[in-house]
Chain A
Amino acid sequence: MAITGSVSKAFAHAEETPVSERDLDWSVVQSVQAGNVGAFDQLVQKYREHIFSVIYNMTSNREDASDLTQETFIKAFQAIARFKGKSSFFTWIYRIAINTTNTFLKKRSRRRYISYENINEEVTSSEIFERLTAKSRSEKGALVHELQEKLNDSLQKLSPKHRTVVVLHEIEGLSHNEIAEITKTTVGTVRSRLHYAKQQLQSYLKDYIS
């Protein structure tokens, strides 16, 4: 899997040494449970961008994503005394984020406006971005924005469970096993949902992709 960007690098690091990452998180959790509340900030700093990214891609709204990310950490902070370490903190916090977001999406009666972050061109080394590069800078920007808009719009057409799998696998780069653990489903279910979701996206974006 081609991994680019700092978010993906963090995951790549986690994949290389999953046991030590888990142990490291567990030691911080135990510290918080012992009364060192300030230690929780380490976990926030480590996971805030990943959580925000997942929620942002689920909601396609920056303000909602910010609120829900904070809510996720508040919930984790309130429940950390009951966290027994049976799963990794990484899995646990992702599960809280997904559940919080899905609850929010169910409550959201009407569709909100879609907002999107600007793509950080300085750190982008993806081939796709290079392929999108046009002769003039303004044309490139317009194409990127158009694609962003269409992609966000297509993602919002998917059901929450299908969107979750696409976001976690294709955007966040999590493995099928990790997604199955987070969503409490089987690997087969994850693969099935991913296959269906990609088919749907292909049909929505048929004018833009091969």
Chain B
Amino acid sequence: MAKLPPKRQADIKLENLLRLKRFERPSDQFWNEFDRELHQRMLQTLVKKDPWYLQVMHVFSGRILQSTAIAVAAVLVAMIVVRPAFQSTKLPIAVAQAPADDEFDASIAIAMTELTLAEATSLPNYDSDVISAEATSDEVNFVRDFGMEQMRVASYDATAYSTDSAQARVAFASAGVASLVY
């Protein structure tokens, strides 16, 4: 096919050419056939039942979906609010069951507590206790090159250093720490 002559070509613009396509229109016969086919397909659509997955989608769309979302949100909020309260009531029950499960440990704990309380009332006063090197100097046979010195032990350390104290025994047993006096 021959191209358009140069003179005519200069007159044609893209917009005008595109606008020419508006006149590409089907005939009336085409539309009659179109209407007939469309009505048939629409009738088929009305009669034909949707597949099960489409029905499920429709069920879960719209308001039902919204109400489901609200219900899920409510359950989540309830779990967040109720769960801490549930946990706080659960703790005493576990403690109450502990003696039954571990009777031996519990009895020891009670005995140690009673012992500690009893000893605490008759705890010696170590504020002024004196540790003397003189008392053992003859037995161990060593030359004492220091004078009679007295060492005061602070009251707060006394329990840890003394084996007489019930508290010290408890601490000793639990910690397993030996202490040096000298």
Contact = CB atoms under 8 A, between A and B. Distances in A.
A207 B9 CA distance: 8
Contact of B24 (A4, A48, A119, A146): A119
B156 interface: no
A143 B4 contact: yes
A199 to B, nearest CB: 10
Contact of A126 (B16, B31, B35): B16
Given A120-B23, A143-B4, A208-B9, A77 B17 contact: no
Contacts of B24: 53, 56, 116-120, 148
B34 A69 contact: yes
Given A5-B23, A147-B20, A151-B18, A70 B41 contact: yes
Interface string A121-164: 10110111101100000000011001110010000000000000
B46 interface: yes
Given A49-B25, A117-B24, A117-B26, A128 B16 contact: yes
A29 interface: no
A53 B24 CA distance: 8
A198 interface: yes
A128 B162 CA distance: 118
Interface string A180-210: 0000000000000000001001100101111
Nearest to B21: A171
A117 B14 contact: no
Contacts of B41: 70, 74
Nearest to A144: B20
Contacts of B157: none
Given A52-B26, A210-B12, A37 B20 contact: no
A30 interface: no
Contacts of A57: 21
A132 to B, nearest CB: 7
B23 A198 contact: no
Interface residues of B, number: 34
B20 A210 contact: no
A8 B22 contact: yes
Contacts of B177: none
Which of B17, B18, B22, B35 has its CB near the most chain A CB atoms (within 10 A)?
A: B22
Contacts, number: 118
Contacts of A66: 30, 34
Interface in B5-49: 8-26, 30-31, 34-35, 37-38, 41-42, 45-46
A36 B42 CA distance: 14
A78 interface: yes
A208 B18 CA distance: 13
B16 A123 contact: no
Contacts of B4: 132, 143, 147, 208
A96 interface: no
A123 B14 contact: no
Contacts of A14: none
A7 interface: yes
B20 A48 contact: no
A82 interface: yes
B42 A74 contact: yes
Interface string A103-119: 00000000000001111
B34 A127 contact: no
Given A119-B20, A209-B14, 7 more contacts: A37-B46, A70-B37, A126-B19, A126-B20, A128-B19, A171-B19, A209-B12
